Each structure stands twice: as structure tokens, then as C-alpha cells.
Chain A
């Protein structure tokens, strides 16, 4: 059997990589991908604890996280398209204001 701490360690490493991607990337789509990676690391933590305690609540929470991630991707990518149409760039340094 695999101990639960291994799953938690993998989730921590994935979350860190996602956070580093959010910090160092300049492209806004890469930043959104890093956010998705962080959400997935949290999902893995929730499922691991759900299995360890024999409760289903963590998996219901994962369902909600996925719904929110879908909504975030839809709105975020729409904003990215709008930004690119007005500014012709995806660099976050050149587009730090949402104002047109």
C-alpha cells in the first residue's frame, strides 16, 4: 500500500511548480496554465484525504473545484482574447491595466 504522505508530497511539489510558473512566466496563457496546475494539486490533496478518512466530502469539493475552474477558464480566456484584440500582446508586463 502507498502511504498517504506520498500523495501529499506529490501534490505539494505540483503546487510549487504551478506557483513558480505563475511567478516567472510572462505570457498570460502560461500563467493561466500554472493556475490550473495549482488547482489540480489541491484536487489531489482533497482526494487523498477523502480516501484516508473514508469520507466522500473531499470528492464533492473536487467536483466544485472543477466547476469553478471551468468557469474561470471560460471568462479568463475571453478576457485574454479581448486583451489581445486591443493590445496585440500577451505579455503581462505590457498590459497590467484592464482599462482600455
Chain B
């Protein structure tokens, strides 16, 4: 049963990512990325990472992607031109990259062949993540708040009309 759900979510995620790749219109790309994020949320739930799954929906799907869609609609972009690649050497770069990917997949299939995931642990619940976040990772957590503040100020200054 879990395997069926995994195949469904993984298939939807990869299909949506491929749709992002082939669409010319960035709005279609943003919406298919939204579908991929939803499918990844299902994978996180299967892995027992409930806190991450909820954060994924709220922050990624709810905040970041809405920002993307707003900006795309604000700029009223035209459809990308049909000619995609003007740099022909990128085509030849694809071959070593593909070989690298195949090698990686072969390595992980060899390294973790029948490694079943342990179940029944409460690693992913909010209390565990929160306790870790406010004890061992307290300094990085505070630094992220400074980072968010700097990013907000930077965005306001950049987008301000002179």
C-alpha cells in the first residue's frame, strides 16, 4: 500500500517537473511546480516528516509560489520564443551530466539495495524538530531571522520607485 502511494506521488512529482521543463509560459511552469511541491508533500508524509510536510504547504506552496505567480502576472510576460537554446555547446555538456546521474542512481541502488526504512519513530513530529531547533540549532535559527530581515529590507529597497 505504501509502495502504491510512493509510486503515485513520485510519478506526479516527476511528471509535473517535466511539464515545467517543456512549457514556454512561465505561469504554466509555476503552476506545475506547485503540483510537484504538493506531490513532494505526500512523499514527506510517507517518510514520517509531518512537520516538514506542513511547512512545505504553508511556506513553499502558500508563500513562495504565490509570490512567483504574483510577479509573473504583474510583469505580464509574453510567451517565450520557440527557439530555446542559442548555445550549442550545452548540448554536449548534457552527455557527462547524464552519465553522472546514471552513475549516481546505480551507486545508490547498489549501496541501499534492500534497506527498509525503520518505522514507528517519532523523528518527524513537531515537538522533536522544535526541541532540536531551539537547543542545538539555536544560533543558526536566530541567524535565519536576521537573514529574513535583511532580505525584506533589500526587496523593499530594490523594488521602490525612485
Taking a contact as CB atoms under 8 Å apart, the answer to whether A80 and B129 are in contact is no
With a cutoff of 8 Å between Cβ atoms, the chain B residues found around residue A12 in the complex are 101, 104-105, 108
The tally of residues in B whose CB lies under 8 Å from a CB in A reads 82
A4 CB, nearest partner CB in chain B, Å: 5
**Extra contacts besides A44-B43, A70-B64, A74-B155 (19): CB < 8 Å:** A8-B112, A20-B21, A26-B80, A27-B80, A29-B72, A30-B20, A36-B60, A37-B36, A40-B60, A44-B40, A52-B112, A52-B115, A60-B129, A60-B133, A64-B140, A66-B55, A67-B144, A74-B152, A77-B68
The interface on chain A, measured as residues whose beta carbon lies within 8 A of the other chain's beta carbons, has a size of 67
Chief secondary structure at chain A's binding surface: helix
Contacts of B147 in A (CB 8 A): 67-68, 71
Instruction: State whether B20 touches A37 (Cβ < 8 A).
Output: yes
* Main secondary structure on B side of the interface with A: helix
Whether A5 and B113, one on each chain, are in contact in the complex, defined by CB atoms closer than 8 angstroms, is yes
